[in-house]
Amino acid sequence: MSTNTSSVVVMGLGYIGLPTAAILSSKGVHVHGVDVNQHVIDAVNAGTVPFVEPDLGEFVEQAVAAGTLTASSEPITAENYVIAVPTPFHADRTPDLSYIQAAAEKIAPTIEPGALVILESTSPPHATQKMAQWILDARPDLVGADGAALIHFAHCPERVLPGRVMIELVTNDRIVGGVTPEAAQRAKALYEVFCEGEILLTDDVTAEMAKLTENSFRDVNIAFANELSVICDNLGIDVWELIELANHHPRVNILQPGPGVGGHCIAVDPWFIVAADPTSSNLIRTAREVNDAKPGWVLDKVKKAVADQTEPVIALLGLAFKPDIDDLRESPARKIAATIADEFPHAKIRVIEPHVSELPKELANRKNVELASVEDSLENDDCVVLLVDHQVFKQMDLPQHPAVVDTRGMWR
């Protein structure tokens, strides 16, 4: 191992930072993880994981036992720093870089000349250079007499799929964007410690844009499927049969419609491109709007289905943002459930989500909402709304008595 890859500080022990810390430390790198949440720090130091991700627990347990992974609220001096903190957007959908700034300012006092700072958080164009400036503003001694920084900066976006993170961290190709070519080479050496995919070198701004482009590509293509689903519903055509047929064309590959697009990436990242160039990003903005409008369309379907009832019983199948996970963040199903609870105060709303043991707080305190079992019959409901196509739902038969709103084409 090169001397430059023996120590890493990871800022942010979330869905990306902790797996990255764990995989690096499994290769013998000394990793110190930093988080603002004491519960996360305690969990990691105890060799446990504060959220569900297959195989991550074993990696963390072994690394902590081997002494290569530690966690605290404060960074230490290391050869490499990886920043993996959230990048949400403001109310006006412009990117909020405050977590990156806070992490940059926190590591600044510990950095020694020659260190490499990598931004992994999904970021708008030029965020890596802003991060570099925040660090250098705090540490003017890290700027040489010729005006060049004495440390290196790179952007290396993650592209792992939740649920497959420990596999994809190793097997996915990786884009490495250096603010300088030397920074890119340094970052490549670090990712080579665990990544078996191709490591593709570019500059920092292209790397930032590549990540946003990947998720926007998917968003635009899901929007196409969602728009088709609305058109087909108006025209009395089964959209899932239509897509299946069209996808037999050798150059057509349409994605699946659903109740909207959830998660913390695909529904967010396209807005960073829109914010960077509002006048030229009409297609990307429109795709976002099409996908964001889909939960409202589902609500209208439910309203029509129970229009003649004053106290309907409505079953909602699924709350997660996609099938077979327990992650409810930014879930369109969850948004739809909350809106139905608002719109039908006299209804009985039975939420069936086998991956959670309690309802999220905005549903838990409603008198008209209960968490129901997947074992219960659906035949006594007035309306059944299929929101997530979890495997467990696929074993259920199409209910005969209730009206059905099937947003995933599971019962077609």
Residues annotated as catalytic (active site), given as ranges? 211, 265
Match 């690096």 to its residue by tokens. Answer: 24
Which residues have C-beta within 8 Å of that of residue 208, sequence separation ≥ 6?
123, 124, 125, 126, 127, 128, 155, 157, 177
Strands 152-155 and 174-178: antiparallel
Give CA–CA dist 130/141, Å, rounded: 18
Query: Could you tell me the smallest distance in angstroms from the CB atom of residue 117 to ligand SAJ?
Result: 21
Pick between residue 61 and residue 330 the one whose CB is nearest to ligand SAJ: 330
Query: Could you tell me the smallest distance in angstroms from the CB atom of residue 218 to ligand SAJ?
Result: 4
Pick between residue 101 and residue 256 the one whose CB is nearest to ligand SAJ: 256
Strands 403-406 and 80-83: unpaired
List of residues contacting ligand SAJ (CB under 6 A): 122, 158-162, 214-215, 218, 222, 255-256, 258, 261-263, 265-266, 321-322
Give CA–CA dist 136/104, Å, rounded: 10
Residues of 291-307 as b/e, b for ≥16 C-beta within 10 angstroms? bbebbebbbebbeebbe
Which tokens in the block code for residue 297?
Answer: 């369309």
Pick between residue 49 and residue 111 the one whose CB is nearest to ligand SAJ: 49
Which residues have C-beta within 8 Å of that of residue 41, sequence separation ≥ 6?
13, 33, 35, 71, 72, 73
- Angle between the 17-26 and 56-66 helix axes, to the nearest 10 degrees? 50
Q: How far is CA 264 from the centre of its chain?
A: 4
Pick between residue 5 and residue 121 the one whose CB is nearest to ligand SAJ: 121
Pick between residue 134 and residue 393 the one whose CB is nearest to ligand SAJ: 393
Query: Could you tell me the smallest distance in angstroms from the CB atom of residue 171 to ligand SAJ?
Result: 12
Pick between residue 324 and residue 379 the one whose CB is nearest to ligand SAJ: 324
Query: Could you tell me the smallest distance in angstroms from the CB atom of residue 189 to ligand SAJ?
Result: 23
Residue whose C-beta lies closest to ligand SAJ: 265
Give CA–CA dist 269/130, Å, rounded: 18
Query: Could you tell me the smallest distance in angstroms from the CB atom of residue 92 to ligand SAJ?
Result: 22
CA angle 185, 74, 76 (to 5 degrees): 45
Query: Could you tell me the smallest distance in angstroms from the CB atom of residue 109 to ligand SAJ?
Result: 30
| Helix (H/G/I), strand (E/B), else coil: 133 | helix
